[in-house]
Amino acid sequence: MSANVDRHWRSFKWAAWLGWQIESNWTEPWLFAIYSVIKPVAGAFILVLMYVVFAAIGTGGNFTDPAGLARFNFIYIGNAFFIFVGNTLFGTFQVIQADREWYQTLRYVYISPISYYTYIVGRAFTKISIATFAVLITLAFGVAFLHIRVDLALEEVPAFLAALVLGALCLVGIGVSLSALSFLTARHVRGLAEGVPGIFYLFCGVLFPLSILPEWGQALGKAIPLTYWFEILRRILMPPAMLTEIATTSPTTLESFGLVEVLVLLLVSATLFLVLSVGLFRLMEWLARRAGKLDMTTAY
Amino acid sequence: MTTTVNPVTLNLRAVWGRAYVRIVGANREPSWIFFDGILPLLGIAAYVFIYEGFFRGISTPEARAALNALVGFVVLGGVMIAFWMNVLWSMASQLYWEKEMGNLQLYMMAPMSRLALLGGMAIGGIFMTSVRALVTLIAGIYVFGVHFTLANPLLLLAVFFVTLIALYGMGMMFASLYLLWGREAYHMSALLEEPIFLVSGFYFPIGAFPQVGAWGRAIAIGGSIIPATLGLDALRQILFPATTASFQFLDVQTELLLLVVLAVVFLILARHTLGYMEMLARREGRLTARHQ
């Protein structure tokens, strides 16, 4: 038992270290820090400019309209936490393709005495850590320069952290499940990296309240646990007056769910996704070995 | 016995040979249409719904027209993103990955112009990306209900193709630079995603920049070095003439002229950077060394 735990811990630890080296050792630390800041801030600024265009046309240039500001706050916070989604998913399902096709090292890593499943999780951990930094930077930038209001009371911190961890576990489960598919698919990581987060971006109410979507889109959104994750994070972080403004003009349709209900839902979802990821990983690994696809290259 | 081959024929064969791999490769593996064509539409749809959300409750005819144009801007931005991503990941990074896979030395030994190789890569890439761009455009018209005003189709085609030539010329130049930068290449491409989506105005008119202050104008001018910026703005002006008036950056003719200049400059620079890379290959013998 202990040897097994040791093996998983060793796999996780060295995979995370390897991930960090791949992410950061191509340059100086200061350049890496700038690189890590520019991407999320640029992503946030896209939303700022979209809001500027709307305000110029839709409100006659009134940038302080309360409804508009509440919507902008809603979008900004959702977008900031979406960095976790993009990074965690890309961090997990790029591992197999990167090792197999870019570095052509999968065969060596695979035959080494580690758990390859835990290895993928370890590699993803690096991305989650970098995403945490990017989320903090984005939120701090918004508060400092863009009139974003974050209202986190001390007694809400445990719920916030619990939601954050459960959401991250959900994402790792989804990420490893998709990563397992890439055992059999060709070099589609980039399409997956854009597309799968795109599903969550569109249907989970990241950038707009769910009521904006058509009925079928709302139903789909409500079936994805991450929708509730974004809802609860915003409910904890946004000022109540802004939440009321959103609920009046464009409700999220999730207002009836309580904090505990959402946390339980996230716990169950995270467990299910992690179990699914183990099963799918084993199945795809077996199929890839049988088809001789473990070290195929498909780049052209 | 020596065989003399017309250099033009030789290089055209090289262009076709490199493009062929991508075109045939794409046909052999049609699953990429789903991964690279359909899935990215979802991200674009999210930006469409942001504007829908902003304009909710405002139902004046002017607001409806503005919303149609802004959704159209996002759709056109999605089309251009497809080409930009292809330039980054399948042009600029390609020579670096060819080196990692051991193909670069074969290219260097082959008796063709290296520009022909990159030209073939670009044509193959344009073919693959056009499918994604077309899917985005069709979705824009039929799913998001965007109405375009096509008053001058010839000008539209001219702007579009000059933009592509300039964009892929930039990609050809980057291909050599990325090769010199080594493993920074991957990160460089990642860095040129969101910041370029911003400065090129993929989701909003570039003319919105000056409205956020003097630094906004500076960003818009600086961002114009990316051909997608001017190309996209010109395409939007041609297809949505009424709405772009309040966010005009430059007029279409000026933008087309600048795009022609950019195309020529990038192609010349691509030739020079390739020459520099080749010189390094001969002098230092390290360009085929992997994992640097």
Per-residue model confidence (pLDDT) at position B1: 61
Residue with tokens 């003009």: A249
Per-residue model confidence (pLDDT) at position B75: 93
Segments forming the whole domain that contains residue B52: 7-284
User: Each residue of B222-251: b (16+ CB within 10 Å) or e?
Assistant: ebbebbbbbbbbbbbbbbbeebbeebebbe
Per-residue model confidence (pLDDT) at position A139: 92
Per-residue model confidence (pLDDT) at position B225: 94
User: Each residue of A108-124: b (16+ CB within 10 Å) or e?
Assistant: ebbeeebbbbbbbbbbb
Per-residue model confidence (pLDDT) at position B92: 83
User: B201 and chain A: CB distance < 8 Å anywhere?
Assistant: yes
Helix B227-239 vs helix B252-284: crossing angle, to nearest 10: 160
Report the residue from A58, A71, A192 with minimal CB separation from B63: A58
The domain ranges of chain A are: 2-291
Between positions 105 and 124 of B, the ones with CB within 8 A of A are none
Looking at per-residue confidence, does B24 or B272 come out higher?
A: B272
User: A297 and chain B: CB distance < 8 Å anywhere?
Assistant: yes
Residue B214 confidence (pLDDT) above 90: no
* CA B174 – CA B106 distance, rounded (Å): 20
Q: Could A188 and B31 be called an inter-chain contact, meaning their C-beta atoms sit closer than 8 Å?
A: yes
Closest CA to A80 of A114, A46, A121: A46
Between positions 75 and 134 of A, the ones with CB within 8 A of B are 75, 102-104
Structure tokens at A282: 């084993």
Number of structural domains, chain B? Answer: 1
User: Is residue B160 domain-resident?
Assistant: yes
Give B2 to chain A, closest Cα distance, Å.
32
Could you tell me what percentage of chain B is helix, strand and coil, using 3-state DSSP and rounding each to the nearest 5?
Answer: 80, 0, 20
* CA B83 – CA A77 distance, rounded (Å): 30
Please compute, for residue A187, the number of CA atoms within 13 A of its CA located in the half-sphere on the CB side: 17
| Three-state SS annotation for A28-76 | CHHHHHHHHHHHHHHHHHHHHHHHHHHHHHHCCCCCCCHHHHHHHHHHH
AA identity, residue B92: A
The answer to whether B88 touches B189, Cβ cutoff 8 Å, is: yes
Structure tokens at A298: 């498909």
Per-residue model confidence (pLDDT) at position B289: 67
* CA A245 – CA A241 distance, rounded (Å): 6
* CA B224 – CA B282 distance, rounded (Å): 35
Number of other CB atoms surrounding residue A136 within 10 Å: 13
Q: Is the ipTM of this complex over 0.95?
A: no
Structure tokens at B213: 């202050």
> B124: which residues sit within 8 A by CB, 6+ positions away?
B18, B19, B20, B21, B22, B23
End-to-end CA distance of chain B: 41
Q: Could A201 and B85 be called an inter-chain contact, meaning their C-beta atoms sit closer than 8 Å?
A: no
pTM score of the predicted model: 0.83
Per-residue model confidence (pLDDT) at position A230: 94
Q: Could you give the C-alpha distances from B203 to A13, A286, B24, B178, B224, in angstroms and in order?
A: 40, 43, 33, 27, 15
User: Is residue B141 domain-resident?
Assistant: yes
Per-residue model confidence (pLDDT) at position B292: 59
pLDDT in tens, B166-186: 999 999 898 888 877 776 777
* CA B169 – CA A151 distance, rounded (Å): 48
Q: Could A202 and B42 be called an inter-chain contact, meaning their C-beta atoms sit closer than 8 Å?
A: yes
Per-residue model confidence (pLDDT) at position B181: 74
* CA B57 – CA A250 distance, rounded (Å): 9
Residue B186: its chain A contacts at CB < 8 A?
26
pLDDT in tens, B99-137: 877 788 888 888 888 888 888 988 888 888 888 888 888
Number of other CB atoms surrounding residue A158 within 10 Å: 9
* CA A13 – CA A6 distance, rounded (Å): 10
The C-alpha angle with vertex A38 and arms to A160 and B179, in degrees rounded to 5, equals: 130
Residue B38 confidence (pLDDT) above 60: yes
> B28: which residues sit within 8 A by CB, 6+ positions away?
none
Q: Could B31 and A185 be called an inter-chain contact, meaning their C-beta atoms sit closer than 8 Å?
A: yes
Residue with tokens 């987060």: A197
Structure tokens at A32: 């890496």
Looking at per-residue confidence, does A174 or B248 come out higher?
A: A174
Q: Could you give the C-alpha distances from A176 to A4, A58, A197, B95, in angstroms and in order?
A: 20, 43, 14, 30
Q: Could B43 and A202 be called an inter-chain contact, meaning their C-beta atoms sit closer than 8 Å?
A: yes
pLDDT in tens, B49-96: 888 888 877 778 888 888 898 999 999 999 999 899 888 888 888 888
User: B187 and chain A: CB distance < 8 Å anywhere?
Assistant: yes
Handedness of CA B73, B79, B82, B85 (dihedral sign): negative
Average pLDDT, chain B: 85
* CA A240 – CA A243 distance, rounded (Å): 5
Residue numbers of chain A with a pLDDT score lower than 70: 1, 58-63, 186-191, 194, 299-300
Closest CA to B209 of B193, B227, B233: B233
Q: Could B197 and A42 be called an inter-chain contact, meaning their C-beta atoms sit closer than 8 Å?
A: yes
Q: Could A195 and B40 be called an inter-chain contact, meaning their C-beta atoms sit closer than 8 Å?
A: yes
DSSP code at position B212? G
Residue B287 confidence (pLDDT) above 70: no
Query: In a 3-state reduction of DSSP, which class is residue B285?
Result: coil
The answer to whether A56 touches B246, Cβ cutoff 8 Å, is: yes
Structure tokens at A191: 């399409």
User: Is residue B289 domain-resident?
Assistant: no
Q: Could A212 and B53 be called an inter-chain contact, meaning their C-beta atoms sit closer than 8 Å?
A: yes
Structure tokens at A139: 């939120």
The answer to whether B124 touches B17, Cβ cutoff 8 Å, is: no
Between positions 231 and 290 of B, the ones with CB within 8 A of A are 246-247
DSSP code at position A88? H
Nearest CA in chain A to B91: A300
Max alpha carbon distance in chain A (Å)? Answer: 67
Between positions 131 and 190 of A, the ones with CB within 8 A of B are 185-186, 188, 190
DSSP letters spanning B214-247: HHHHHHHHHHTTSHHHHHHHHHHHHH-HHHHGGG
pLDDT band of residue B237 (cuts 50, 70, 90) is: very high
* CA B97 – CA B116 distance, rounded (Å): 18
